[in-house]
Amino acid sequence: MTASESLGKDLLGLEQLSSDQIRLILDTAEPFKEISERAIKKVPTLRGSTIVNLFFEASTRTRISFEFAEKRLSADTVNVASSGSSVSKGETLVDTARNLEAMRIDMVVIRHGASGAARFLAERIESNVINAGDGTHEHPTQGLLDMLTLRDRFGKLAGLKVCICGDVLHSRVARSNIWGLKKMGAEVAVCGPRSLLPNAIDDFGVTVFDHIEDGIQWADALNILRLQLERMHSGYIPSLREYNRVFGVSRERLARAPKDLLILHPGPMNRGVEIDSDVADGPHSVILNQVTNGVAVRMAVLYLLAGGRPELAEAAKGGGGR
Ligand code: CP
C-alpha cells in the first residue's frame, strides 16, 4: 500500500476503513510509541505543517493527546474552542474552517456535538480532516487506540472476545470499536439496559447480553462505557445507584469470571457508577495504557494523512520519512 492510497484525504470513521488500513495505522503507531519515552520527545517529521484543533465539545484526553502528537512531530498547532471564537457570535463551522484555510493550514482535527460534522467539513475544505468525535457517530482514533491496547496485551485481535458495556446508545466510542474490531476479526458483544442500546443493535452484527454477569463469563476484555448523562434528556435508567447495582463492573463480579479480564474504559469515568474504583485501578486495568497509546496512534494518523510512507515510519522517528 503506497502513501497516497493508504488512508485517503481524511479520517472520518472506522466504518469506511478496510482491515488493511486499520492494520496500517496500528503498525505505523508502533515505532512512534518510543518517541514519547525519550527525554526530548520531538522529531522534525511534520515540520512546516500547520494543524488546527477545533474542539467544539469538552475534551481532556483527545484534545491534549492530539496536541502532544502534533508537537512531538514538530507541526505548528492552533487550538480553537467555540467559546472565545467567533462561533459564539454565530459564525458557521464551514466559515470558520474556510477562514482558517485562508491563513494556509494543512489539517483540521475536529470534535463536534453533531453527528456527521466531520464529514460535512471534510467535503467542504481542502485540508485533511480528522474526526476527534462527532456526536454519537464515531470516534475513530479512540477505536484505534483501544485496538492497539488490546493487541499489545493479547498479541492479536482476530478471535478476541470484547464486550462493550454500558451506554452504547450515546457512544461514538462503541460504534468505532464495533466497526474496527469486527473488521479485524474480533468477536464483539454489547451489554447494557435495553434503554441504552440502539434500536437497530441487531444490524451491528454483535452479540447482545442483558446481564453483565453473562458478558463477564463470555469475554476476554471489557470496554466499559461512561453513562453519558449530558446526552440523556429523559429517564433512561431509574437511578445511578440502581445502574451500578445491576450493570456496574465490580471486583466481586469479576471474581466470578472464568479468567482474568482485561479492563478498558475510554474515559472520563463515572467511578462507582459503570466501574468501581478497585476495578479501574486494579491489576487488569489498561485504562492509562489506552491514554499512552492515544498519542502514538494520533502521531501515526497525522503522519499517514500528511503523506508519510508507512514503510518509512521507523526512519521518520529520526526525522525523514515523508
Ligand atoms: N476518550 C475521550 O474521548 O476522552 P475526552 O472526552 O476527554 O477527549
CB atoms within 10 A of CB 249: 24
CA 157–ligand 1 middle distance (angstroms): 23
Instruction: State the burial class of residue 161 (Cβ atoms within 10 Å of its Cβ: 0-12, 13-18, 19+).
Output: middle
Q: Which amino acid is at 273?
A: V
At residue 171, the pLDDT reads: 97
Residue with cell 526530548: 40
Taking the model in full, what pTM does it have? 0.95
The least confident of 78-87, 293-302, 306-315 is 306-315
More confident residue, 4 or 147: 147
The least confident of 80-94, 122-136, 242-256 is 80-94
Q: Which of 55, 56, 62 to mutate for ligand 1's pocket (most ligand atoms within 8 Å of CB)? A: 62
57-67 pLDDT, tens digit per residue, is 999 999 999 99
Q: How far apart are CA 234 and CA 179, in angstroms?
A: 28
Residue 2 has pLDDT above 60, yes or no: no
At residue 115, the pLDDT reads: 98
Residue 76 has pLDDT above 60, yes or no: yes
Q: How far apart are CA 266 and CA 146, in angstroms?
A: 8
Residue 222 has pLDDT above 70, yes or no: yes
At residue 310, the pLDDT reads: 73
At residue 292, the pLDDT reads: 98
φ and ψ at residue 310, rounded to 5 degrees? -50, -40
Q: How far apart are CA 4 and CA 96, in angstroms?
A: 28
CA 14–ligand 1 middle distance (angstroms): 17
At residue 216, the pLDDT reads: 98
- In 3-state terms, what secondary structure has residue 263? strand
At residue 234, the pLDDT reads: 66
273-305 pLDDT, tens digit per residue, is 999 999 999 999 999 999 999 999 999 999 999
What distance, in Å, lies between the first and last C-alpha atoms of the chain? 15
CB 285 within 8 A of CB 224: no
The least confident of 64-68, 87-91, 168-172 is 87-91
Residue 1 has pLDDT above 70, yes or no: no
The least confident of 3-7, 18-22, 38-42, 50-54 is 3-7
At residue 235, the pLDDT reads: 77
At residue 113, the pLDDT reads: 95
- On average, the pLDDT of the chain sits at 94
CA 142–ligand 1 middle distance (angstroms): 8
172-190 pLDDT, tens digit per residue, is 999 999 999 999 999 999 9
**DSSP H or E segment with residue 306:** none
Q: How far apart are CA 140 and CA 17, in angstroms?
A: 10
Helix axes 19-33, 140-154, angle to 10 degrees: 70
CB atoms within 10 A of CB 173: 26
103-146 pLDDT, tens digit per residue, is 999 999 999 999 999 999 999 999 999 999 999 999 999 999 99
At residue 4, the pLDDT reads: 47
**DSSP H or E segment with residue 40:** none
CA 218–ligand 1 middle distance (angstroms): 27
Measured by CA distance, the residue closest to atom 6 of ligand 1 is 59
Q: How far apart are CA 320 and CA 44, in angstroms?
A: 8
CB 234 within 8 A of CB 203: no
Cis peptide before 283 (omega within 30 of 0): no
